[in-house]
Amino acid sequence: MIELLVQARKDAGITQVELGKRLGLRQTVVSKFELGERRLDVAEFVAVAKAIGADPHAVIDAAMEGTLRHPRP
């Protein structure tokens, strides 16, 4: 899901610095979660998605479509 958030950020033309400002964080924190060095909890994930103009549900749905190859019974 983080890869999808990073791509959505880039597609929106938002830098890590700008995202950090929108979230009240330093760019280094944004970099760490984008690199997988720091995990996001659900509330942070939603805040990041909203800050880049992405629908959190759509990001989750896209992640599920990419990882679930067989429907569950």
Number of domains in the chain: 1
pLDDT of residue 10: 96
**What range does the domain containing 39 cover?**
2-67
The CATH code of the domain that includes 31 is 1.10.260.40
Q: Tell me: the pLDDT tens digits for 1-39?
A: 899 999 999 999 999 999 999 999 999 999 999 999 999
Any domain includes 73: no
pLDDT of residue 72: 44
Q: What does the buried/exposed string (b/e) look like for 31-51 if buried means 16 or more CB atoms within 10 Å of the residue's CB?
A: eebbeeeeebeeeebebbbeb
* Residue 41 pLDDT greater than 80, yes or no: yes
pLDDT of residue 68: 45
